[in-house]
Chains A and B, each alone.
Chain A
Amino acid sequence: MDFLRPASWEEALAAKAEHPTAVPIAGGTDVMVEINFDHRRPEYLLDLNRVGDLYEWEVGEDSVRLGASVPYTTIMERLRAELPGLALASHTVASPQIRNRGGVGGNLGTASPAGDAHPALLAAGAEVEVESVRGSRRIPIDAFYTGVKRNALAADELIKWVHIDRADGPQQFSKVGTRNAMVIAVCAFGLALHPSTRTVRTGIGSAAPTPVRAKAAEEFLNAALEEGGFWDNGKIITPSVAKRFAELCSGACNPIDDVRGTASYRRHAVGVMARRTLTWTWESYRGTAARSEGVA
């Protein structure tokens, strides 16, 4: 095994071009487990800890440019207002020790359906900026996950930034596990209200071969909210609408039975989380809407 230690982003890209089989390592919270257990013996480890760009973030007018290695701890502490869904999801990642090391780039690189960041990224709307010596490109989050632990990266590409839309409304994240800390999701659900476009977006984790959106559920809910004038009148969501939304979210799952839970439990739990997160975010939206009406 060779340990490659690029001191800059350019050097990292050159190293990845020269050794396409090199395994990038940043927080190490996935890669080191595989090495410790002898599940993986990469020819090259490509250490990204010295690439400072990857630890930076920038809050723009419409979106946040998040470095691939920005630790979950930082996202929780510094980006809660801009990225509430991702901050909530970050807080459910493993333990403080792991959150101090791991970042969104690792979740995306590993592309496990159980990665905690995915539902939040899907719901908020995000693009993954990847780069190689050939140039850079932005991959929409919906096209990023291509299979179980597979993503749209080419062999010579590295993840640099994740561009995440700044929250324009309430966001929620919910995760099912046996305890609060150190839990791999049995299943997870992210939901974001986007009042500026009058749409709702979702993200489902650990209940299909890849993280997925519940698109039919989103379309149904968008139409129901529009039809009932909910965005303007701020009324509570009709129980039958919430119920149908939950059913459609369950229907978007394609889960398996495994040690953490059965497929039917996952489908059921996703429905429950969908209804709850919709209620929580909508109540929060109504609260803000009512306040601004009062002021006017």
Chain B
Amino acid sequence: MRVNFTVNGRPQEADDVWEGESLLYVLRERLGLPGSKNACEQGECGSCTVRLDGVPVCSCLVAAGQVEGRDVVTVEGLADHARQRSCGDASGTSLDEAKGWQARGTDSQTGEGAELAPIQQAFIDAGAVQCGFCTPGLLVAADEMLERNPDPTDADIREALSGNLCRCTGYEKIMDAVRLAAARQQEAV
């Protein structure tokens, strides 16, 4: 079947989609957006977290046909999504831009490069990325929480990220990164 939906602000069309296929598979294998990670395929790990009509969901548990006509934001579109939120610039991210997206922060270690969402820069600055497999899901979940709750307590952060497993960091640096992003967001206001 064919599925038409919006990905990172731009209309997309996926063809020859099998009826039992997940949104995650469509994003990774049909649209070439491998940012959302495929780990547990049962909603336990949160690595595949995307926004569906603004709401964080596990894309491995959404049937492709269920997203017809709906709006999806993936980690590749997070920088643009954050920019839109702060200054209302709604250009969206094209598939080619999204496919070419790389995490190049603005500090000396990672060099000048692609624009990052504040939460992405905070993850780099706080050293919250180790193997990186859980990072996209954590970024999407953390960004959504900061949108909803600009001044989160530690308990709020833990709750918002409770569906995202990380086997490297022990979560402390991730907590640091989200606190940092929240503090920067408040300074900017």
- Within 32-81 of B, Cβ neighbours of A (below 8 Å) are at 41-44, 46, 49, 55-58, 60-63, 65-66, 68
Contact call A181/B163, Cβ cutoff below 8 A: yes
* B80 to A: closest C-beta gap in Å: 22
Q: Are B44 and A182 in contact (CB under 8 A)?
A: yes
> In the complex the two chains form, is A97's CB within 8 Å of B49's CB?
yes
A101 to B44, CA, bound (A): 14
A88 CB → nearest B CB, Å: 15
Docked complex Cα distance between A130 and B61 (Å):
25
Q: How many A-B residue pairs have CB under 8 A?
A: 89
Q: Does B141 contact A (CB under 8 A)?
A: yes
| A window 213-246: CB within 8 A of B | none
Contact of A96 among B41, B42, B61, B163 (CB under 8 A): B163
Whether A35 and B20, one on each chain, are in contact in the complex, defined by CB atoms closer than 8 angstroms, is: yes
Query: Per-residue CB proximity of B143-187 to A under 8 Å, as 1/0?
Result: 000000000000000011011110000000000000000000000
Which residue among B1, B58, B160 has the maximum number of chain A CB atoms within 10 Å of its CB?
B58
Known: A25-B66, A33-B41. A97 touches B19 (CB 8 A): no
Which segment, of A41-49, A111-119, A247-255, A261-269, faces chain B? Answer: A41-49
Instruction: Name the A residues within 8 Å of B164 (CB-CB).
Output: 95
* A36 contacts the other chain (CB 8 A): yes
Are A182 and B66 in contact, with the CB atoms below 8 A? no
Chain A positions within 8 Å of B44 at CB level? 182
Q: Flag if B162 contacts A28 (CB, 8 Å).
A: no
B42 touches A37 (CB 8 A): yes
Chain A residues bordering chain B, tally (CB within 8 A): 29
- Mark A85-103 against chain B: 1 for CB-CB distance below 8 A, else 0: 0000000001111101100
Q: Does A281 contact B (CB under 8 A)?
A: no
Q: With a CB–CB cut-off of 8 A, which chain B residues contact A31?
A: 63
| B5-48 interface code vs A (CB 8 A; 1 in, 0 out) | 00000000000001110100000000000000000011110100
Evaluate whether A29 and B163 lie within 8 angstroms (CB atoms) in the complex, with A37-B41, A96-B56, A97-B43 already known: no
User: How distant is B40 from chain A, measured CB to nearest CB, in Å?
Assistant: 9
- The one of B18, B41, B55, B61 in contact with A29, judged by C-beta atoms closer than 8 angstroms, is B61
Nearest A residue (CB) for B144: A96
A95 to B138, alpha carbons, bound, how many Å? 13
- Interchain CA distance A94-B43 in the complex, whole Å: 9
Interface residue from A37, A45, A97 paired with B63 (Cβ < 8 Å):
A45
CB distance from B54 to the nearest CB of A (A): 10
Contact B43 A29 (CB under 8 A): yes
A-B residue pairs in contact (CB < 8 Å), sample of 28 = A3-B65, A27-B61, A28-B62, A29-B43, A29-B61, A31-B63, A32-B22, A32-B43, A33-B42, A33-B43, A35-B63, A36-B22, A36-B41, A37-B42, A42-B20, A45-B63, A47-B63, A95-B162, A95-B163, A96-B56, A96-B159, A97-B58, A98-B61, A100-B55, A101-B57, A101-B61, A181-B162, A182-B162
Chain B residues close to A by CB (< 8 Å): 1, 18-20, 22, 41-44, 46, 49, 55-58, 60-63, 65-66, 68, 141, 159-160, 162-165
Residues on A lying within 8 angstroms of B by beta carbon are: 1-3, 5, 25, 27-29, 31-33, 35-37, 41-42, 45, 47, 49, 94-98, 100-101, 180-182
